[in-house]
Structure 1
Amino acid sequence: MIEYRIDRRSGVATYLQIVQQTRHALRLGLLEPGDRLPTAREVVEATTVNPNTVLKAYRELEREGLVEGRRGLGTFVRRSLAREEAAEDGPLRAELEQWVKRARAAGLEHEDMEALFTAVLTAEAEREGTHEQQQ
């Protein structure tokens, strides 16, 4: 079962943190169709967030077709976002883990690596967008 971690200093709305963490778990195969998400009460007890915040996140996930609420039973995963290439034992993950080790050895901290990775992703997306526009 997923355990949500809320970073109140991140500037990201709490409900979006829950949505993002759920999506990440779905992409990494940590949550699979049929798995039950923690109840709103369980999330509230673990994170001390408002129950309405949890319900808002779950409604967003339901709107996206990722989960479904079953009255009296809970909220369950409807579909996965997992890709074999991103699996825990996949070669891309192993390469990324090696990159993180090299980055740490070079003195980069978590936020430095996150910023670098995001910058590279953004630049690549812009190149792809430019390339698509030229075709």
Structure 2
Amino acid sequence: MIEYRIDRRSGVATYLQLVHQTKHALRLGLLEPGDRLPTAREVVEALAINPNTVLKAYRELEHEGLVAGRRGLGTFVRRSLGEGRATDARLRSELTTWMAQARAEGLEKDDITALFTAVLETLDAEQYGPGAPDGPRRTIQTDQGDEG
């Protein structure tokens, strides 16, 4: 089961942090179809946040078709993200090798994140143009946010 973390200093709404962390877990295969998300009560108790914040995040995930609520049973994963991509394992391996090389060159985690983000934004801008809806994006860390 996923354990959420909140960064109240990031400026990202708490419900969005929950959504992003859930999607991240889906992309990494940490959550799979049929898995139950923590109940709103469990999340509220663990993070000391408003129950409506959790419900808002779960509604967003449900609206995107990623989860489904079952009255009296909880909220369950309906589908995964990134499943069925044969290239994922190869790309992950290549990225792991690249990151190990970056570490060996003395880059810290923040340096690697900044470099990766800059390259990704450059590629997006070249493909979609600056400011396009599917264009440049900021990286989403799994421990961000402000209650919202």
Please give the range of the TM-score, normalised by the shorter of the 2 chains.
0.7 to 0.9
Which amino acid is 1:10 matched to?
Answer: S
How many residue pairs get aligned? The number is 127
SS at match of 2:106: coil
Q: Report % sequence identity.
A: 72
SS at match of 2:123: helix
Matches within 5 A, 1:67-78: 67-78=67-78
TM-score between the two structures when normalised by the length of structure 2:
0.78
Which amino acid is 1:91 matched to?
Answer: R
Matches within 5 A, 1:46-57: 46-57=46-57
Distance in 1, matches of 2:43 and 2:110, equals: 26
Residues 1:82 and 2:82 are matched in the alignment: yes
Per residue, is there more helix in 1 or in 2? Answer: 1
- The alpha-carbon distance between structure 1 residues 79 and 46, as it changes in their structure 2 partners (threshold 3 A), is same
Unaligned ranges ≥5, structure 2: 130-148
RMSD, aligned α-carbons: 1.5
Matches within 5 A, 1:1-135: 1-83=1-83, 84=85, 85-86=87-88, 90-129=89-128
Distance in 2, matches of 1:48 and 1:119, equals: 35
**1:48, CA displacement in angstroms?**
2.0
SS at match of 1:18: helix
- Residue 134 of structure 2 aligns with which residue? none
Higher relative contact order (CA 8 A, sep 6+): 2
